[in-house]
Structure 1
């Protein structure tokens, strides 16, 4: 059984109550020296002490025992890959020690590094006369919220599990059942609208008439998802409010974006129940076409759901998820791994997710190695977006899913390579912060390069001197 350390949580709880270690010791029925050992993570906490904390201080023992390092460690590993730390980069044991003994300091370091990145991006944007790029995007803010929660929201999972009550409708009856539910519970009707009536939207809700309009450009799978999404917004507003308040985002656009992503999470959890989805995922070795067919969702929705399977005691393979357009821009990202995803700009051009546009609808597998020697298996495939006019027929994106190399035996897409072996492709986060000086795919000068270079040499790119 894994040991649980609660030192920083316990210290913070005691200080918030204005108690000394001796006073807390009397309350918990233990010695002051034992409280000191617990606070310094020199002893793991027992179940008995956790329940005494709950009874004496009215706190949820699961929140106290929650291991924040699961999300903080990958973020720290990503931060120290910055070329700024080339000459004095902390190793993995040092990072783990920092999280055990000084988690607040580690979080402060991450906040400082993010602020440094934002300032660097702002300076770059100003130099390029692009003022809009200097604003931290709502997508980046939402990504941090999901990372802090390890891409898993227990409250949303519980709400989704009780959505249908005792009996869920048959899969081919879900659309009708959702329309009946919205009408009977919320007084909301659903209407399918013609493309010319909604030329720039796929879904709209008129609060005055209490009517949801769905564009006929949506296929049946996405109509179901959009109605489930609306059920979340209309029925679970109070729960969303609580999660948004805990997130502490100050920018209104970020809060709106977070609400949308929480509703997406809820809809996915309703349509792909956790235990059922995990069981099928394991039995099919994460065949996402099969998962999409079994649960009546799209390939992209099945991929996204797989990133959320992080419940303690019933975890799936930790994946990262990227959605990229034909220009290389990262349109969506979620991460349950230590793979460092770029906060701004595109992904590494060496990732084969970019080349998947050449083979629409086919899985493109790849083994990659990061600058810190960590290795991942990545597979990509294009997905089609709703279209309703001739000039947007090729409205296509690509999604990439990746996991650490130790999970590769659980992924069916990797089976052809397990016997023959596959070469590792050296990749980075993105060009602006990648330390691979001699990469022939470099598109930008890195923001920080320790070597000034020389005018007497021309490498594979104009940045390699």
Structure 2
């Protein structure tokens, strides 16, 4: 049985109740010294103690055992790549100790660094006269998904009960969804001409109880949009609870989170957890084949793979990155320790940028971060719905990456030697990347105050 450590959660529970370690020990029928060991993660918790905690304190054992140390550790490692910490970076053992024994301090450092990054961005925008005084809803939503390791147990459970009596044949899903909306909710679904829905793919007229889907949507995305609407209407209470739990101060971020949670639910319905995980393992994560088998898009199959983090039935942890042709990050999800940038774009050395040259083809790549961590990444373009002939080539690119030790489980790495593969040195993004002499640097690192050597021209204008 996997050992479970609940130190920070147990300490927080005790402090919220205003109890001493001795008082909690008496309630649980254990010694005060054992409570102390549990709180300091020097002992794993037993099933008996977890049951007593449930009985005496009315808490769900899954909430207590919800270990977020992996994502916090990854965020700390990313944070400490900032040049401001150069020369004084703690090693991995120190970081692990901080996360285990001082989680509130680690969280405070992350909040401070995010505020620092936001301040730098705002100062930069102010100097250019483009200051945006609002926060980023996308960054807030990313933090919520990161905090949950990109997996929502409640949504998975709800999705498993969506099809009473079992799911219909894949060819009948769209018709079954239309019938469900009509019979259960009194909502009609109608396909609309492109010119009748300019710039929109789906709208819902609440007064007329009618969902309009653009004919520009392909069949998989029509089904996806209908399940999304089922989530918003049938499972509104569940979404409300998750949003309330997230405690987002910005209404815009709360609305954005609602959309992403409904998207998560739709993916879980169309790609059931157990079946999708089994197919992923059987095909060695052949996303094209998986998309075909479940009647979804390539991007949807990739996104679903990042959510396979159920305890005891975990898939390969992936990060997901989507960019447009300008290099802007338009979507990101992360179940790994790979430090996705919170500000700015992705590293230009990632081949996700060059995949636009080979549309529809998988581009494999081995990369190495400044701290020495290595990842296997595959990139491919994905096409978006087009309304008119002048809107052709409406294309994005996605990257899926995992730690290099998982590469043997990925079919795209077959024929590639992990031990001898050429590693592409990358960074989080140019703003904080400590690498010098990089010929792809877009601008000087914020903290790098070295004067330019006027006698020398380096690989870029920032490397004199």
* TM class, shorter-length: over 0.9
Structure 1 position 209 matched with structure 2 position 217: no
Alpha-carbon distance change, 451 to 360 in structure 1, aligned in 2, over 3 angstroms: same
The 2-side partners of 1:66 and 1:224 are apart by 33
SS at match of 1:205: strand
Give the structure 2 partner of residue 288 of structure 1. 287
Give the structure 1 partner of residue 324 of structure 2. 325
Give the structure 1 partner of residue 311 of structure 2. 312
SS at match of 2:281: helix
SS at match of 2:194: coil
Aligned-pair Cα RMSD in Å: 1.2
- 5+ residue gaps in structure 1? none
Give the structure 2 partner of residue 335 of structure 1. 334
Give the structure 2 partner of residue 50 of structure 1. 50
Give the structure 2 partner of residue 381 of structure 1. 380
Give the structure 2 partner of residue 152 of structure 1. 151
The 1-side partners of 2:459 and 2:169 are apart by 58
Deviation at 1:241, TM superposition (A): 0.7
SS at match of 2:126: helix
The 2-side partners of 1:84 and 1:432 are apart by 11
Give the structure 2 partner of residue 60 of structure 1. 60
The 1-side partners of 2:304 and 2:451 are apart by 45
Deviation at 1:419, TM superposition (A): 7.7
Structure 1 position 81 matched with structure 2 position 89: no
Task: Tell whether the 8 Å contact from 2:70 to 2:337 is kept in structure 1 after alignment.
Answer: no
The 2-side partners of 1:22 and 1:377 are apart by 49
1:108-187 pair list within 5 angstroms: 108-132=108-132, 135-187=134-186
SS at match of 1:178: helix
The 1-side partners of 2:424 and 2:33 are apart by 52
The 2-side partners of 1:451 and 1:11 are apart by 45
Deviation at 1:420, TM superposition (A): 9.1
The 2-side partners of 1:208 and 1:357 are apart by 43
Alpha-carbon distance change, 453 to 305 in structure 1, aligned in 2, over 3 angstroms: same
- 5+ residue gaps in structure 2? none
CA deviations 1:283-326 (Å, max 9, x no partner) are 10000000000000000000000000000011000000011100
1:62-461 pair list within 5 angstroms: 62-132=62-132, 135-418=134-417, 421-449=420-448, 451-461=450-460
Deviation at 1:450, TM superposition (A): 5.7
SS at match of 1:418: coil
Deviation at 1:421, TM superposition (A): 4.0
TM-score by length of 1: 0.98
TM-score by length of 2: 0.98
SS at match of 2:221: helix
Task: Tell whether the 8 Å contact from 1:122 to 1:135 is kept in structure 2 after alignment.
Answer: no
SS at match of 1:75: helix
CA deviations 1:325-359 (Å, max 9, x no partner) are 00000000001111111112211111111111111
1:3-42 pair list within 5 angstroms: 3-42=3-42
Deviation at 1:253, TM superposition (A): 0.9
CA deviations 1:211-259 (Å, max 9, x no partner) are 0000000011110111111111111111111111111111111111100
Task: Tell whether the 8 Å contact from 2:187 to 2:210 is kept in structure 1 after alignment.
Answer: yes
The 1-side partners of 2:416 and 2:134 are apart by 43
The 2-side partners of 1:362 and 1:236 are apart by 38
SS at match of 1:131: coil
CA deviations 1:20-72 (Å, max 9, x no partner) are 22221111111222222222222221110010010001001111121110211
- Bigger shift: residues 163-172 or 10-19: 10-19
Deviation at 1:11, TM superposition (A): 1.6
Deviation at 1:453, TM superposition (A): 4.2
Alpha-carbon distance change, 447 to 181 in structure 1, aligned in 2, over 3 angstroms: same
Deviation at 1:282, TM superposition (A): 0.5
SS at match of 1:346: coil
Task: Tell whether the 8 Å contact from 1:83 to 1:450 is kept in structure 2 after alignment.
Answer: no
The 2-side partners of 1:40 and 1:362 are apart by 49
The 2-side partners of 1:65 and 1:450 are apart by 45
Deviation at 1:454, TM superposition (A): 2.6
Deviation at 1:456, TM superposition (A): 2.4
The 1-side partners of 2:459 and 2:36 are apart by 57
Aligned length: 464
The 1-side partners of 2:428 and 2:418 are apart by 29
